[in-house]
A and B are shown apart, each in its own frame.
Chain A
Amino acid sequence: MFSTRGQPSGIVGHQTVWTRDRIMTEHDLIEQAKQGSADAIDALYRRHASRVYSVVRRLTGDDAQAEDAAQETWLRVMRSLPTFRGQAMFSTWLHRIAVNCALYGRRKRERNRLRELELPDSLPASVGGSRPLLRMRIEEAIDALPDGMRRVLVLHDVEGYTHEEIGELLGVAAGTCKSQLSKARAKLRAHLRQTVEGEEVCSI
């Protein structure tokens, strides 16, 4: 199986791959992956799987759609790899494909009811540190945003895209994107305020 963090997993022979993964440059891996090398493909997957999954999961706001988009991303990348000339960083190229797959993937499920569900009222009994809980609540609140707002918020505030880049991706004016971002931030804040009211993380 792939191991997403490039760490030894206890599988016989995995250590060798892991060591090679660290020694080989990304350029080497790409060249070998172009030839269909299973080891090179595994190594590229280990290096980038969590980054790809993060962006598609947050953009889609849905586990099933995220899996479809992640799969489509990797398939598109592997199909297009022979034409990859390295003008852009592989990670940048991969990220762009992931964003496109998440936004315009072939399999568009009917937006499920989860999108409209209220966030859970109760919090875990033990808060522990506020940051992990805050992150968890933020992930839930991102999922609960309407599609358009979620996309703009994730692309700008999480992924660091500019309004101009987002506008180009979504086919809207940069000003529209900016206005959507303010709405998304405010809505996210309102969700968090409602969800964590009375708890430690309420201080945000």
Chain B
Amino acid sequence: MQHLNDEELARLVDDEPTDEESAHLELCAACSSELDALRLQTETLRQLPDLEPPAHLAARLRAVMALEGLRLSSRHRMRSSLRIAASVALFAAGGLTGYLGRGAVAAEGAAAADRSPPTTLTEAAQRVEEAEARYTDALAAYARLGGSIPAADPVSRLAALEGIVLMTGAALDEAPADPVINGYHLTALEQRDAILRQLERRPAQESDDEQEWF
């Protein structure tokens, strides 16, 4: 009998060999050794350890869940000071927000950030509540901005995404651990880079308009 081929040997990892195959395996060290190797390979596959997801996936997921309302505001978990910092930072970047059409909200936020420090505990608590409300509004504004970015025109998308990247980057300077802003920043970066790659791949004749635009 000829040697067993790879697929026949692979089948014998699970199945009983025929009499003919059995007889051959008893006499042929090469085939027998190869079958042992396939069995070890299969055993190793069954024992493969789990893989760790990349850390940024968790931040991205948190951001999307928060936007969809699947995950309640992290008010119970996040330190108020961090939330205030995030809120202030978000609205300090109001110029860019204004560029993207949210000027009124941004101006209101910037004004709130300039107020004098609270003098009583009650006032401080009220400020925290207000900051949380602005924070939530800002996240909703990001969501609207993301949804309003023109889908068909990559150059306009690029400009809009660049604005969001700058805005969230500024917010992260003040609140680097904020998972929601991290999620927005990473998502905006990812989309911006994807559009850059898309533009780079465009044939020269299609990019005349964009070259003039730049």
Which A residues lie at the B interface, using CB under 8 A?
Answer: 1-2, 4-5, 12-13, 35-39, 41, 45, 49-54, 57-58, 63, 67, 70-71, 74-75, 78-79, 131, 134-135, 138-139, 153, 157-158, 160, 178, 181-186, 188-190, 192, 203-204
Q: Which of B23-31, B61-69, B201-209 contacts A (4 or more CB under 8 A)?
A: B61-69
Interface residue ranges, B against A (CB under 8 Å)? 5-11, 13, 34, 37-38, 40-42, 44-46, 48-55, 57-62, 64-65, 68-72, 74, 76-77, 79, 177, 179
Nearest-neighbour CB distance to chain B for A184, whole angstroms, equals: 8
Tell whether, in the assembled complex, residue B6 and residue A186 are in contact, meaning their CB atoms are under 8 Å apart. yes
Determine the chain A residues whose CB is within 8 A of the CB of B11 once the complex forms: 178, 182
Cβ distance B67 to chain A, nearest Cβ, rounded Å: 11
Q: How far is the CA of A35 from the CA of B73 in the complex (A)?
A: 12
Q: Which of B38, B46, B71 contacts A158 (CB 8 A)?
A: B46
Structural contact, B46 and A4, CB atoms closer than 8 A? no
Given A2-B58, A41-B65 in contact, is the A135-B71 Cβ separation under 8 Å?
no
Contacts known (A1-B59, A186-B6); A192 close to B52, Cβ less than 8 A: no
B10-A37 in contact (CB<8A): no
Shortest beta-carbon distance from A140 to chain B in Å: 12
- Chain B contact residues, majority secondary structure: helix
The residue in chain B whose Cβ has the minimal distance to the Cβ of A5 is B52
Closest to A13 in B: B77
Across the two chains, which residue of chain B brings its CB closest to A46? B58
Look across to chain B and name the residue whose beta carbon is closest to the beta carbon of A138: B44
A71's partner among B13, B55, B64, B179 (CB-CB below 8 A) is B64
Chain A residues within an 8 Å CB radius of B62: 2
Residue among A54, A67, A79, A182 with the most chain B CB within 10 A?
A182
Q: Which 5 A-B pairs have the closest CB atoms?
A: A186-B6, A2-B58, A53-B53, A185-B10, A36-B72
Q: Are B38 and A75 in contact (CB under 8 A)?
A: no
Asked if A67 and B77 sit within 8 Å, CB to CB, the answer is no
Min Cβ gap A60→B in Å is 12
Determine the chain A residues whose CB is within 8 A of the CB of B5 once the complex forms.
186
Among candidates A70, A160, A189, residue contacting B46 with C-beta atoms closer than 8 Å: A160
Pairwise interchain contact A74-B44, C-beta atoms closer than 8 A? no
Closest A residue, CB atoms, query B9: A186
Docked CA distance A178–B15 (Å): 11
Which of B6, B13, B69 is in CB contact (< 8 Å) with A36? Answer: B69
How close is A98's CB to chain B, nearest CB, in angstroms? Answer: 11
A12 CA to B81 CA in the complex, in Å? Answer: 14
Instruction: Look across to chain B and name the residue whose beta carbon is closest to the beta carbon of A158.
Output: B45
Cα–Cα, bound, A181→B57 (Å): 32
Residues in chain A near residue B41, CB distance under 8 A = 138, 185, 188-189, 192, 204
**Contact among A38, A53, A135, A183 with B52 in the assembled complex (CB-CB below 8 Å):** A53
Query: Of B45, B59, B72, which is within 8 A of A138 by CB?
Result: B45
The distance in angstroms between the C-alpha atoms of A154 and B59, with both chains bound, is 28
Establish whether residues A181 and B51, one from each chain, have CB atoms under 8 Å apart when the complex forms. Answer: no
| B57 and A189 contacting across the interface, CB-CB below 8 Å | no
Extra contacts besides A49-B58, A53-B51, A138-B44 (19): CB < 8 Å? A2-B58, A4-B52, A36-B69, A36-B71, A38-B72, A38-B77, A41-B65, A41-B71, A51-B50, A53-B50, A53-B52, A70-B53, A74-B65, A75-B64, A75-B65, A78-B65, A79-B70, A186-B10, A204-B41
